[in-house]
Amino acid sequence: MGPARSIEANPVNENPRIRRALISCSDKLGLIDFAVGLSSYGVQIFSTGGTRRHLADHGIESIDVAEYTGFPEMMDGRVKTLHPKVFCGILGRRDNVSDLQAMHEEDIHPIDLVVVNLYPFEATVARSGVTRKEAIEQIDIGGPSLIRAAAKNHEWITVATRPEQYSAILSAVEQDGHTSLSLRRRLASEAFSLTCNYDQAISDYFRSESCGDELPVNMTVRLERKNQLRYGENPHQKAAVYRIPRSSEASVVNARQVHGKELSYNNILDLDSALSMARNFAEPTVTVIKHNNPCGAASHPKIAEAALAALDGDPVSAFGSVLGFNRTVDLATAEVLVEPGRFIEAIIAPDFEAGAVGVLTTKPKWRDSVRLMQVGHLARLDKETSIRFIAGGALVQEADSMPSFDNQWRTVTEVEVEDDWQEDLHFAWEMVRHVKSNAIVLAKHTALIGVGAGQMSRVDSVDIAIRKAGERADGSVLASDAFFPFPDSVEAAAKAGIVALIQPGGSRRDDEVIEACNEHGIAMIFTGTRHFKH
One domain for residues 57 and 203: yes
**Mean pLDDT confidence for 481-503:** 94
Work out the number of other CB atoms within 10 angstroms of the CB of residue 428. Answer: 27
Work out the number of other CB atoms within 10 angstroms of the CB of residue 461. Answer: 25
Task: Please give the pLDDT value at position 1.
Answer: 38
One domain for residues 351 and 408: no
Domain around 468: 402-526
Q: Cα-flanking dihedrals φ and ψ of residue 363, to 5°?
A: -85, -50
Domain with 509 in it: what CATH number?
3.40.140.20
Residue 60's nearest CA partner among 69, 73, 70, 47 is 47
How many C-alpha atoms does 506 have within 13 Å on its Cβ side? 12
329, 352 in Cβ contact below 8 A? yes
One domain for residues 168 and 64: yes
- Residue 9 pLDDT grade (very low, low, confident, very high; cuts 50, 70, 90): low
**How far apart are alpha carbons 272 and 324 in whole angstroms?**
9
One domain for residues 370 and 407: no
**How far apart are alpha carbons 281 and 286 in whole angstroms?**
10
Report yes or no on whether pTM surpasses 0.85.
no
**How far apart are alpha carbons 210 and 81 in whole angstroms?**
32
Residue 106 has pLDDT above 90, yes or no: no
Strand partners, 114: 22, 159
37 inside domain: yes
One domain for residues 308 and 415: no
**How far apart are alpha carbons 177 and 188 in whole angstroms?**
19
Q: Cα-flanking dihedrals φ and ψ of residue 388, to 5°?
A: -125, 120
One domain for residues 362 and 408: no
CA dihedral 352, 355, 356, 361 (to 10 degrees): 110
Which residue type occupies 360?
L
One domain for residues 452 and 496: yes
- Residue 3 pLDDT grade (very low, low, confident, very high; cuts 50, 70, 90): very low
291 is catalytic: yes
Q: Which of 83, 104, 291, 363 is catalytic?
A: 291
152 is catalytic: yes
Secondary structure class of 365 (helix, strand, coil): coil
**How far apart are alpha carbons 283 and 259 in whole angstroms?**
26
428 inside domain: yes
Domain with 32 in it: what CATH number?
3.40.50.1380
532 inside domain: no
Sort residue 305 into left (φ over 0), alpha (ψ -120 to 50) or beta.
alpha
One domain for residues 53 and 194: yes
Give the residue from 326, 359, 374 where a domain finishes. Answer: 374
**Mean pLDDT confidence for 195-212:** 79
One domain for residues 74 and 123: yes
2 inside domain: no
One domain for residues 43 and 175: yes
Task: Please give the pLDDT value at position 474.
Answer: 96
180 inside domain: yes
Work out the number of other CB atoms within 10 angstroms of the CB of residue 246. Answer: 12
282 inside domain: yes
Residue 267's nearest CA partner among 347, 192, 326 is 347
List Cβ neighbours of 387 (8 Å cut-off, separation of 6 or more): 221, 394, 395, 396
pLDDT in tens, 53-104: 999 999 998 988 888 887 777 776 667 677 888 889 999 988 888 888 888 8
**How far apart are alpha carbons 343 and 366 in whole angstroms?**
7
> How many helices and strands (H and E) does the chain possess?
19, 21
Q: Cα-flanking dihedrals φ and ψ of residue 116, to 5°?
A: -140, 135
367, 379 in Cβ contact below 8 A? no
Residue 151 has pLDDT above 60, yes or no: yes
Residue 242 has pLDDT above 60, yes or no: yes
3 inside domain: no
Task: Please give the pLDDT value at position 408.
Answer: 86
CB-count burial class (<10 Å; 0-12, 13-18, 19+) for 178? buried
**Mean pLDDT confidence for 21-45:** 91
Strand partners, 21: 45, 113
**How far apart are alpha carbons 511 and 515 in whole angstroms?**
6
**Mean pLDDT confidence for 224-249:** 90
Q: Which of 152, 259, 445, 533 is catalytic?
A: 152
- Work out how many domains the chain is built from and give that number: 3
- Residue 175 pLDDT grade (very low, low, confident, very high; cuts 50, 70, 90): confident
One domain for residues 60 and 190: yes
Secondary structure class of 321 (helix, strand, coil): strand
One domain for residues 107 and 43: yes
380 inside domain: no
Give the residue from 359, 374, 389 where a domain finishes. Answer: 374
